């Protein structure tokens, strides 16, 4: 499936807010529509956000390409700064925006039309790189998946969360395709139900044997010895291995450590933030209370109740068995081995 496609100067995104009931495409014709798509979770998943942000730069360049260079450069900075602020935790967003700013700086001697061409070229490279990276991660990760393994995963880390194939779900997909006879338990992942709506949708599409579970059933499965391996994604990884991922990941890691179940992060090197030492430096996004008090627009909590709704939590490095990247599997000591990447 193509969660992201750029064609005829329009960015086409599978609208992940509508799945699995409706399979609809959201069209972005301006950079402000890209900013909206990222902020409102039309598109989500760190690698997918990064690729989408790159094409947001393309659409901004298209909008201002006929302006004189000074105006073009000023408007591009404003547009990229706006996109950069659309979500605060996923480092791939900042990485993609920075990469686009570098392209502009390196080609500032060109006219706007020439800079536009360079930006488009770079966005296409980012999209292609992500697909290739995911497939290599899947091969690397498949090495640690035992035959007949029962795997638990949290949130959505598949083709929908990337430019294609997936991170943690990419490893699961690779294990399935190589005949390892795996079985998957997918957490529903409250409050936005990315596991129930998106991961389950992908598993059904790929005909991978699986069951959907409520988040609070995972601990019982782990305790009872029914989970061999836990694979999750990441939105930002600190240099020491502390990892920000969808809320509920930390809780799973604690239970996994208690019962000696291997707990792996699957993420590209671009998700590692080499500028921060620990997870304490990661900005955790807090989202609208409506995500908790309502399901599909229907109120499920009383009016007047306060809500705490962090989108992510941080799993400390001591709870992580390894971090699967396209360049290999990183294990403790994480900082030393991460720097080797």
- The span from the first CA to the last CA of the chain, in angstroms, equals 30
Mean pLDDT over each residue of the chain, to the nearest integer: 96
Instruction: Give the closest residue to 108 by CA, choosing from 144, 69, 59, 61.
Output: 69
**Sequence-separated (6 or more) residues with CB below 8 Å from residue 332:** 241, 317
Report pTM. 0.91
Percentage of the chain surpassing pLDDT 70?
Answer: 100
> What is the average pLDDT across 93-99?
96
Q: Which residues are catalytic?
A: 235
Quick one: pLDDT at residue 2? Answer: 83
Query: Can you tell me the distance from the alpha carbon of 312 to that of 244, in angstroms, rounded to the nearest whole number?
Result: 6
Domains of the chain: 4-135 (1.20.120.420), 137-339 (3.40.50.10470)
Quick one: pLDDT at residue 190? Answer: 96
Quick one: pLDDT at residue 203? Answer: 98
> What is the average pLDDT across 37-49?
95
> How does pLDDT run across 226-260, given as a tens digit for each residue?
999 999 999 999 999 999 999 999 999 999 999 99
Query: Can you tell me the distance from the alpha carbon of 32 to that of 23, in angstroms, rounded to the nearest whole number?
Result: 23
pLDDT confidence tier of residue 143, bands split at 50, 70 and 90: very high
Task: Reply yes or no on whether the pLDDT at 136 is more than 90.
Answer: yes
Query: Can you tell me the distance from the alpha carbon of 269 to that of 284, in angstroms, rounded to the nearest whole number?
Result: 20
> How does pLDDT run across 277-307, given as a tens digit for each residue?
999 999 999 999 999 999 989 999 999 999 9
Burial class, 297, CB count within 10 angstroms (exposed 0-12 / middle 13-18 / buried 19+): exposed
Quick one: pLDDT at residue 341? Answer: 87
DSSP characters over 6-52 = EETTEEEEE-TTTTTT---EEEE-SHHHHHHHHHTTSS-SHHHHHHH
Q: What single DSSP character describes residue 215?
A: G
pLDDT confidence tier of residue 1, bands split at 50, 70 and 90: low
What are 317's two structure tokens? 């490095």
């Amino acid at each position: 499936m193509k969660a992201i496609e750029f064609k005829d100067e329009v960015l086409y995104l599978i609208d992940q807010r509508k799945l699995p009931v409706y399979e609809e495409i959201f069209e972005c014709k301006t950079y402000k529509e890209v900013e909206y798509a990222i902020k409102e979770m039309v598109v989500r998943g760190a690698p997918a956000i990064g690729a989408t942000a790159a094409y947001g730069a393309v659409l901004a360049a298209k909008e201002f390409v006929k302006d004189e260079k000074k105006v073009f450069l000023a408007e591009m900075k404003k547009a990229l700064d706006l996109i950069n602020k659309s979500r605060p935790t996923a480092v791939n967003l900042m990485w993609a925006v920075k990469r686009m700013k570098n392209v502009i700086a390196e080609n500032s001697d060109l006219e706007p039309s020439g800079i536009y061409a360079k930006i488009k070229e770079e966005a296409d490279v980012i999209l292609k790189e992500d697909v290739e990276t995911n497939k290599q991660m899947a091969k690397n990760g498949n090495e640690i998946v035992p035959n007949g393994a029962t795997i638990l995963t949290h949130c959505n880390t598949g083709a929908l969360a990337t430019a294609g194939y997936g991170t943690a779900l990419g490893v699961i997909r690779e294990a399935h395709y190589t005949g390892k006879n795996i079985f998957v338990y997918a957490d529903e992942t409250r409050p936005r139900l990315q596991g129930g709506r998106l991961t389950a949708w992908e598993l059904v599409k790929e005909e991978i044997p699986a069951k959907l579970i409520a988040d609070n059933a995972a601990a019982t499965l782990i305790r009872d010895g029914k989970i061999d391996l836990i694979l999750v994604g990441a939105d930002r990884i600190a240099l020491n291995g502390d990892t920000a991922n969808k809320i509920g990941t930390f809780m799973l890691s604690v239970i996994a450590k208690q019962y000696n179940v291997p707990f792996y992060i699957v993420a590209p090197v671009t998700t590692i933030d080499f500028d921060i030492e620990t997870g304490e430096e990661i900005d955790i996004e807090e989202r609208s209370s409506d995500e908790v008090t309502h399901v599909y627009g229907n109120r499920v909590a009383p009016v007047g109740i306060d809500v705490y709704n962090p989108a992510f939590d941080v799993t400390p490095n001591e709870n992580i068995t390894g971090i699967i990247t396209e360049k290999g599997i990183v294990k403790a000591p994480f900082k030393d081995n991460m720097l080797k990447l």
